[in-house]
């Protein structure tokens, strides 16, 4: 179960955007426009078309916490979909179980949502599911186990009435039902999926 384990602020600084990888947005914003590395203070050079495509592809990887092999495989699957490839790709990413836990408002970041899943705190249709990349289907019921609700940040989020969920997830407390498949408008992050499609279709 490969995943990125390095400093997450560095990923945001590479892209120049807050990718929601850390809970402290102010700390991220403080050095957001300084690129990582010895020469980061020199600023950003003009980026080529290929560079823009690569950067957007990397951004998608960072946001969803996956590696190149996984994203490439999902792109190939999305390219066979009769709908727009970019929208289909984002739909597949949104249906990952760790993303569902995050979108349901049970974890502050996707990384912490992934940890909840891999540590066995999540059930799908009444059965333990510890695979973050598990793809949910319509009518699936996802819920947190009792032990998970004792985790301080989970407990706080369950009490937070300001947490909102996308239309395709119907949440009630520590349980959520997949009411429909996610569509492009459900993705709130600033992603230009067409650049990702252009990168892989070179």
Domain ranges of the chain: 8-93+190-200, 97-181
Give the model's pLDDT for residue 158: 93
CATH fold label, 97-181: 3.10.290
CATH fold label, 8-93+190-200: Ribosomal Protein S4 Delta 41; Chain A, domain 1 (1.10.1050)
Whose tokens are 């940040």? That residue is: 153
Give the model's pLDDT for residue 5: 62
pTM for the whole structure: 0.82
- HEC string for the chain: CCCCCCCHHHHHHHHCCCCCCCCCHHHHHHCCCCCCCCCHHHCCCCCCHHHHHHHHHHHHHHHHCCCHHHHHHHHHHHHCCCCCHHHHHHHHHHCEHHHHHHHCCCCCCHHHHHHHHHCCCEEECCEECCCCCCECCCCCEEEECCCHHHCHHHHHHHHCCCCCCCCCEEEECCEEEECCCCCHHHCCCCCCHHHHHHHHCC
Other beta carbons within 10 angstroms of residue 29's beta carbon come to 11
Tens of pLDDT along the chain (202 residues) come to 466 666 656 565 656 565 665 555 555 555 555 666 555 556 566 889 998 999 999 999 999 999 999 999 999 999 999 989 999 999 999 999 999 999 999 999 999 999 999 999 999 999 999 999 999 999 999 999 999 999 999 999 999 888 889 999 999 999 999 999 999 999 988 999 999 999 999 8
Give the model's pLDDT for residue 88: 96
Give the model's pLDDT for residue 163: 86
């Amino acid at each position: 179960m490969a995943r990125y384990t390095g400093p997450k602020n560095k990923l945001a600084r590479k892209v120049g955007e807050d990718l929601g990888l850390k809970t402290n947005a102010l700390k991220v914003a403080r050095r957001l426009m300084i690129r990582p590395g010895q020469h980061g203070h020199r600023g950003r050079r003009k980026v080529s078309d290929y560079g823009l495509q690569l950067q957007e592809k990397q951004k998608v990887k960072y946001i969803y916490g996956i590696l190149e092999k996984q994203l490439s495989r999902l792109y190939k699957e999305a390219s066979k979909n009769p709908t727009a490839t970019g929208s289909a790709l984002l739909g597949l990413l949104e249906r990952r179980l760790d993303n569902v836990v995050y979108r349901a408002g049970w974890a502050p970041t996707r990384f912490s949502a992934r940890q909840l899943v891999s540590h066995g705190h999540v059930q799908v249709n009444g059965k333990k599911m510890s695979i973050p990349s598990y793809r949910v289907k319509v009518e699936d019921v996802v819920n947190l186990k009792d032990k998970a609700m004792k985790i301080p940040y989970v407990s706080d989020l369950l009490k937070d009435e300001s947490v909102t969920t996308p239309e395709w997830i119907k949440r009630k407390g520590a349980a959520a039902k997949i009411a429909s498949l996610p569509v492009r408008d459900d993705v709130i992050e600033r992603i230009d999926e067409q650049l990702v499609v252009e990168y892989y279709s070179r």
